[in-house]
Structure 1
């Protein structure tokens, strides 16, 4: 028999508890156990006025932002609507059914004001990292690093070549916030000072973003998000925003390793990375920091014409000379210098020269230098570190580190596919930093929820 038609019945009184309507295995229940925001009010106290109308609780705004990044809700206007409707989101944000939802414009005002002035998002990220360490999820022995390109909120139609862009008169007092930030980062190692190469186009709306075709498709404006992870459980130990070029990404890794050591007293035994981090300067810096570089060496010494490569020449550190396969020496200088010289050029290269006489009478000349009078061998100032990296690459530990390095790529795939951060909403270097820090914080919280599930008693 067909039942009666269902109609909503108005009631004078309701007994309703949000706690009873959130499933025990809901992701937000697990994340809430690790979301301790009690220190936020103390951290922000100096950035609020002690008089006037009370402002919106900063903990509420942070919880709302975490919901957005954990569930891939990119629009803050839509985020407010979802929290208004979703019981689980309300519960996580400590809102009752009758509590109003803050207006979406509140996020912008606080993000560009007290949140940024206090470096709140960095403080929040590091608090979650500390919790991961307390839960035993950070081994501290093998780290991995990599960068991923994220499209900026800019397009080619509103851009110009750098020369034309500089021709315009820029008044920092009236330009948009993203342009002000660009002017402030011209000497920053992660942005303006990362490279002297001028990009083909510069965006008017976000000039700090990099015009790049690195993905082998149509070029676009972008930033790079740089991750430093502990490879035991893929916990993100640090994150840094930079230009989408190799020099800036390598510099960001140095910054992250130094900051992780200073903030958490963590310095890895080994660092795994791809070939982009295999320059002599980077390898030398790692060795100086007592970190084993499990990194492929950028090596252009191999020859395709069948002649001897630089690796076929033996080096003697005692005499600072090379010996060729024919047994003849190669020296930086064949005459005694009145003033001592290092022989190091501006690009960090030392060059060793063979004697023309020795080369002309050598039986191996056609295999060594068939088209010139004498052979020249180049040696990087950090060649000892490069040699160490080459030796490490032959070990089983290197193969293990290479497998672990793929965990960084998995995090980037999760960032773009699940959390939907494939294009930035905020402009300027600070906007990129805010988005990358919040996304990394959400990823670490989700990792905590997965690896430290709720027990039966807590459910």
Structure 2
């Protein structure tokens, strides 16, 4: 007969042993979680969510590619395998989604990072991580804020920048006058070219999101602008295990993030006795300072120079011992002084003598009509750039660049499309970092479960 019939059966009998969550329970001992959470749990008062249940729920969220806490608890209530994974019987009610959200807000990001480091250690112990080569890349992750709610930044002397009790102040307008004038001219040209369109080109220099002040306007060629965070990952090419992940500002250059990523990854691997020797990344991470710092750390970089770098000057020969150029007429251009361009890049300036250029048959064509002598500039880090190009042109360097495209791009694609990182459902950068750590843990655990070591 149809109807309600009480049952004494257990979930162990209902869930097959070969089910993913059952295999994960058998393969991984999650007891390492409790010591990380212990300082933040009180022994008195109303009991909170068990740390193991909390972390397992967040893992399920990324395993099932869910971005909403409500949807997560709806699925967990109906899914026998998830209930068994959490340790809840059929008769036990699961936590409320609001409790899950509050616990995530209360626990600091360092706890999530510690859990991630522990899982990386499990992968190292099982042989999934070689460690000697790390591939670095980044991607935009959509923030939980709308472009339509953006507000202009107030000036430094505005009342909105004066702190009041219990109210967050708006970020100040810190762009220079020249930069603001350039933006206004750009906006005017857009309106002139498309008078029938009401839209405008918004910038991080002039606007901010009151919903999530840490989110930044991000854009790529051919795609619409959106509020986003930058997720940067370091991946071991052996089995594509994520060895580092971090949340950053979407308006920050990749080259500014390289050294913090390298230091964090190297420190984590050294903690488990793994030596890192190669760093592979695309041209977005290129800078002379990065090349120099990688060499100072004893690391071989494989990062192509960007298109603005010129290794040669047509008609001029550079002599390394004397640090000088020689023109096609045999005249010497000695080192003059160091200069800094508008992008804060250090450059070395070389200048010829005015007397040499005065009687030169091609002087006007070479130096121009107004200049009294020919001047040349090259990067302060020219030697580092040349060593990098030599390294990349080698057979091993070409192999490293093939490894880069085949390693890190599929990992980022998997995190975004299959591990719940298509959008950050929380606000502020620390909360975004917690979500990214949990997505990386879920990704690594699935790698850990499916890997069979070679005997």
Q: TM tier, shorter chain?
A: 0.7 to 0.9
Aligned to 1:199: 205
Q: Note the residue ranges of structure 1 that are not aligned, 5 or more in a row.
A: 1-6, 187-196, 303-307, 334-341, 454-459
Change in CA separation of 1:301 and 1:263 when aligned onto 2, cut-off 3 Å:
closer
Partner of 2:29: 36
- How much has 1:41 moved relative to structure 2? 2.0
Q: In structure 2, what is the equivalent of residue 437 of structure 1?
A: 437
1:296-315 equivalences under 5 Å are 296-302=304-310, 309-310=312-313, 313-315=316-318
Q: CA deviation at 1:332?
A: 2.3
Give, in angstroms, the shift of residue 361 of structure 1.
4.8
Distance 2:157 2:313 in 1: 44
The alpha-carbon distance between structure 1 residues 246 and 54, as it changes in their structure 2 partners (threshold 3 A), is: closer
Alignment of 1:13-412 (within 5 A): 14-113=7-106, 115-116=107-108, 119-163=110-154, 167=158, 168-169=160-161, 171=163, 173-175=165-167, 199-247=205-253, 249-265=254-270, 266-302=274-310, 309-310=312-313, 313-333=316-336, 343=338, 345=340, 347-362=345-360, 368-369=366-367, 374-406=373-405, 407-412=407-412
| SS of residue matched to 1:343 | strand
Cα gap change, 1:9 to 1:210, in 2 (>3 Å): closer
SS at match of 1:175: coil
Write the distance in 1 (CA, Å) between the matches of 2:309 and 2:368.
17
Distance 1:151 1:174 in 2: 28
Runs (4+) off by over 6 Å:
none
1:285 CA displacement: 1.6
Shift of 1:375: 3.1
Report the 3-state secondary structure (helix = DSSP H, G, I; strand = E; otherwise coil) of the residue aligned with 1:236: strand
- The alpha-carbon distance between structure 1 residues 128 and 173, as it changes in their structure 2 partners (threshold 3 A), is farther
CA distances 1:326-364 after superposition (whole Å, capped 9, x unpaired): 43321123xxxxxxxx63546311111123443455566
Shift of 1:63: 0.4
The answer as to whether partners of 2:217 and 2:227 remain within 8 angstroms in 1 is yes
Q: CA deviation at 1:437?
A: 0.9
Would you say how many aligned residue pairs link Structure 1 and Structure 2?
Answer: 415
Once the 2 structures are TM-superposed, how far is the Cα of residue 424 of structure 1 from its aligned partner? 1.2
Distance in 1 of aligned mates of 2:358 and 2:281: 43
Specify the SS of the correspondent of 2:108: helix
Q: What SS does the aligned partner of 1:56 have?
A: coil
Once the two structures are TM-superposed, the CA of residue 227 in structure 1 deviates from its matched residue by 0.3
TM-score calculated relative to the size of structure 2: 0.83
> Which runs of no fewer than 5 residues in structure 2 stay unpaired?
175-202
**TM-score, normalising length from structure 1?**
0.82
Q: How far has the Cα of 1:31 moved from its partner?
A: 3.1
Q: Structure 2: how far apart are the matches of 1:408 and 1:166?
A: 45
CA RMSD, Structure 1 to Structure 2 (Å): 2.8
Q: Quick check: 1:284–1:386 contact (8 Å CA) kept in 2? A: no
Is the 2:216–2:250 contact (alpha carbons within 8 Å) kept by the matching residues of 1?
A: yes
1:177-207 deviations in whole A, cap 9, x for unaligned? xx79x89xx9xxxxxxxxxx95242111111
Conservation of the 8 A alpha-carbon contact between 1:272 and 1:402: yes
Assess, with a 3 A threshold, how the Cα gap between structure 1 residues 368 and 135 changes in structure 2: closer, same or farther: farther
